[in-house]
């Protein structure tokens, strides 16, 4: 192929390919995905930027170690089917990871093209190419079902259907074990379904990935709150040989400030679940209502805060204030999400911190009081510590407030399983290579172990756990 004859210098001169996007003025009035994805021509051109380096630092940066140079070379050659196969050896959810992975901190961070051009923004756009291939495969119809080995007669229970649980389901099922996924909600996908909004991750994609698992013979059981309906010991009594706990970190944290119990104050989890899972934007056609607000305050600076702020805009809010106590550089949200929120008109109140919420006579929030902050010396996290500036308080009129300052683990399973060890934050303690817990036959991974982390880290732990479960079911050694 002609592309192969290009010198590294010529490859470095190919401009980074940008995806087309919906206009910000239009997209705040709909829930459709913001970027359109690459065309096949763009994908080939972008993949041609790869230098096929022998050391491939991109692979080491990917928590599931996709063979990135191989799949990029397959794209250059127009072998999209081959590229999909390469990716799926280690990643069963490429359409999702290609969209939501923090690529600039993972696979793309060490990319030699980015290093040579002195900015990670110009690294080979691995995530966008992964998304292109996964979307292309979906457009072709049903994906190939992976080969399933002969039935072993062993049974595995998976608790939680987020990315960690789904990854284990696929890898354990491939070995020929029977797999049942128990999910507390009425739909699968965990945060992928109830947290991340449609305009960032279309739900049809998640449902297609789950259908692929069902085609492999994985059984999904919904409305099953384990720890409540059945304990882990009862699952063993029902004949399961191993259990993987992947219940995530769904317990919202609050600011603990005056007025947080007022009406109109939501945790981001509740707000996003109402909007995404329960489709409250269509109320009264759907059962669940949500505040139709004019002035919304969102507290926090991570992806969850950006998702909440951008959802509030799409639900018709006139002013959405994002209140964050540090500056923009310290914001933990992905740069792309901050950029999109900015374009859409979210108003950033940086270096400001809410100190109390003020209600009206009927108990509804009507104002927030904030204080201005300045940055002091670095704290334990390495980020400069925000310090309040004396007598700088001010008030802003609001009618809705969304608290998005973090989540911790749900205590239901640890509380109902006394022999399962947890750390002081309530996360289940598991070996970082085998994901074995203190209880024989029980493995755990994803946010319930890591605390609130990322999709691909949850999947990475799922892969480790699945390998260890397969080994345990083969030789019975704990
Ligand atoms: P989850 O996805 O939380 O899934 C856990 C599942 O277990 C849920 O379905 C839950 O209902 C179920 N469950 C809980 N308790 C029980 C029980 N007792 N019995 C049965 N089922 C139970 N990460 C990124 O990489 N990129 C992003 O852009 C990004 N954006 C995010 C935006 C939001 C709004 C949120 C909340 C998170 C975001 N994350 C993002 C983080 C990412 O989604 C999580 O790290 C990831 O989903 C964790 O996967 P998991 O499988 O461990 O748990
Ligand atoms: Fe990069 Fe995520 Fe894909 Fe790995 S899974 S190559 S980190 S986008
Ligand atoms: Fe290609 Fe960048 Fe990986 Fe090198 S580091 S193989 S240039 S994607």
The domain 8-139: what is its CATH number? 1.10.1060.10
Distances (CA, A) of 193 to 198, 269, 279: 8, 12, 11
How many angstroms is it from 249 CA to the middle of ligand 1?
7
What class does CATH assign to 252-407?
alpha beta
E strand residue ranges, 410-452: 442-444
* Ligand 2 atom at minimal distance to the Cα of residue 459: 5
> Is residue 144 pLDDT above 80, yes or no?
no
- Determine which helix (DSSP H) or strand (DSSP E) holds 158, and give its type and residue range: strand 155-159
Q: Is 197 in the pocket of ligand 1 (CB under 6 A)?
A: no
How many angstroms is it from 167 CA to the middle of ligand 3?
26
The whole-angstrom distance between residue 186's C-alpha and the CA centroid of its chain comes to: 19
Q: Is 455 in the pocket of ligand 1 (CB under 6 A)?
A: yes
> Is residue 430 pLDDT above 60, yes or no?
yes
Which residues fall within 8 angstroms of residue 471, CB to CB, at 6 or more apart? 477
Q: Strand pairing of 251-252 and 384-388?
A: unpaired
The SS3 assignment for 188 reads coil
Question: Please, what is the angle between helix 126-139 and helix 40-48, to 10°?
Answer: 140
360 vs 1, higher pLDDT: 360
Distances (CA, A) of 279 to 193, 290, 308: 11, 9, 14
Q: Is 306 in the pocket of ligand 1 (CB under 6 A)?
A: no
Sign of the four-CA dihedral 94, 98, 99, 102:
positive
Q: Are the C-beta atoms of residues 177 and 168 closer than 8 Å to each other?
A: no
pLDDT class for 474, splitting at 50, 70, 90?
Answer: very high
Question: What confidence tens digit (pLDDT) does each residue in 102-127 have?
Answer: 999 999 999 999 999 999 999 999 99
Question: What confidence tens digit (pLDDT) does each residue in 181-239 have?
Answer: 999 999 999 999 999 999 999 999 999 889 989 999 999 999 999 999 999 999 999 99
CATH architecture of 155-242+410-451: 3-Layer(bba) Sandwich (3.50)
Residue 135 backbone phi and psi in degrees, to 5: -65, -40
How many angstroms is it from 387 CA to the middle of ligand 3?
42
How many angstroms is it from 98 CA to the middle of ligand 2?
7
Calculate mean pLDDT across residues 361-368. Answer: 96
**What pLDDT score does 284 carry?**
78
Q: Is 264 in the pocket of ligand 1 (CB under 6 A)?
A: no
- Determine which helix (DSSP H) or strand (DSSP E) holds 324, and give its type and residue range: strand 319-324
Do 8-139 and 155-242+410-451 share a fold?
A: no
The whole-angstrom distance between residue 293's C-alpha and the CA centroid of its chain comes to: 26
Question: Please, what is the angle between helix 303-314 and helix 335-344, to 10°?
Answer: 20
How many angstroms is it from 452 CA to the middle of ligand 1?
8
**What pLDDT score does 3 carry?**
47
**What pLDDT score does 1 carry?**
47
Question: What confidence tens digit (pLDDT) does each residue in 366-419 have?
Answer: 999 999 999 988 888 787 889 999 999 999 999 999 999 999 988 899 999 999
**What pLDDT score does 16 carry?**
96
> Is residue 130 pLDDT above 90, yes or no?
yes
Mean pLDDT of the chain: 93
Distances (CA, A) of 359 to 310, 403, 446: 24, 16, 38
H helices of 143-283, in order, are 163-174, 191-194, 203-215, 232-237, 268-276
The SS3 assignment for 144 reads coil
What single DSSP character describes residue 142? S
Calculate mean pLDDT across residues 259-263. Answer: 96
Calculate mean pLDDT across residues 299-327. Answer: 95
Q: Are the C-beta atoms of residues 161 and 183 closer than 8 Å to each other?
A: yes
Which residues have C-beta atoms less than 6 Å from ligand 2? 62, 64, 66, 68, 91, 97-98, 101, 103, 106-107, 126-127, 130, 456
User: How many angstroms separate the CA atoms of 294 and 365, rounded?
Assistant: 12
How many angstroms is it from 383 CA to the middle of ligand 2?
26
**What pLDDT score does 4 carry?**
54
How many angstroms is it from 99 CA to the middle of ligand 3?
19
**What pLDDT score does 22 carry?**
94
User: How many angstroms separate the CA atoms of 236 and 222, rounded?
Assistant: 19
Q: Are the C-beta atoms of residues 419 and 439 closer than 8 Å to each other?
A: yes
Give me the residue spans of the domains in the chain.
8-139, 155-242+410-451, 252-407
> Is residue 39 pLDDT above 50, yes or no?
yes
Which residues have C-beta atoms less than 6 Å from ligand 3? 50-53, 56-58, 68-69, 111-113, 124, 126
């Amino acid at each position: 192929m002609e592309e192969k004859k290009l010198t590294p210098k010529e490859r470095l001169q190919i401009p980074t390919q940008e995806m087309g996007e919906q206009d910000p003025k239009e997209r705040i009035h709909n829930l459709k995905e913001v970027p359109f994805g690459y065309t096949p021509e763009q994908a080939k051109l972008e993949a041609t930027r790869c230098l096929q380096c022998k050391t491939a630092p991109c692979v080491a940066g990917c928590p599931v170690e996709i063979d990135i140079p191989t799949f990029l070379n397959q794209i250059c050659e127009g072998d999209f089917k081959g590229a999909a196969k390469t990716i799926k050896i280690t990643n069963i959810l490429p359409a999702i990871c290609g969209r939501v992975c923090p690529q600039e901190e993972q696979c793309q961070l060490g990319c030699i093209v980015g290093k040579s051009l002195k900015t990670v923004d110009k690294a080979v756009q691995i995530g966008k190419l992964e998304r292109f291939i996964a979307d292309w495969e979906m457009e072709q119809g049903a994906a190939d079902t992976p080969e399933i080995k002969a039935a072993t007669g062993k049974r595995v229970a998976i608790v939680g259907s987020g990315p960690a649980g789904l990854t284990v389901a696929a890898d354990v099922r491939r070995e020929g074990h029977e797999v049942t996924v128990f999910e507390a909600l009425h739909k699968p996908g965990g945060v992928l379904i109830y947290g991340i909004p449609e305009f960032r991750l279309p739900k049809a994609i998640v449902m297609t990935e789950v259908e692929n698992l069902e085609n492999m013979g994985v059984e999904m059981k919904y409305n099953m709150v384990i720890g409540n309906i059945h304990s882990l010991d009862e699952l063993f009594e029902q004949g399961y040989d191993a259990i993987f706990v992947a219940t995530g970190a769904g317990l919202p944290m609050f600011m603990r400030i005056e007025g947080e119990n007022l009406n109109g104050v939501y945790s981001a989890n509740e707000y996003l679940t109402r909007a995404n899972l329960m489709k409250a934007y269509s109320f009264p056609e759907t059962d669940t209502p949500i505040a139709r607000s004019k002035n919304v305050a969102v507290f926090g600076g991570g992806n969850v805060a950006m998702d909440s702020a951008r959802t509030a805009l799409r639900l018709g809010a006139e002013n959405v204030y994002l209140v964050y106590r540090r500056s923009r550089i310290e914001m933990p949200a992905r740069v792309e999400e901050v950029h999109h929120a900015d374009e859409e008109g979210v108003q950033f109140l940086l270096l400001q911190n809410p100190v109390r919420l003020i209600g009206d006579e009927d108990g509804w929030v009507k104002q927030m009081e904030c204080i201005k902050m300045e940055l002091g010396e670095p704290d334990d996290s390495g980020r400069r510590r925000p310090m309040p500036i004396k007598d700088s308080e001010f008030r802003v009129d609001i009618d809705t407030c969304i608290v998005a300052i973090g989540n911790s683990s749900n205590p239901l399973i640890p509380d109902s399983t006394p022999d399962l060890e947890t750390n002081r934050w309530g996360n289940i303690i598991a070996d970082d290579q085998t994901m074995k817990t203190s209880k024989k036959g029980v493995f755990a991974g994803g946010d319930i172990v890591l605390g609130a982390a990322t999709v691909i880290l949850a999947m990475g732990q799922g892969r480790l756990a699945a390998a260890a479960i397969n080994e345990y079911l083969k030789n019975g050694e704990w």
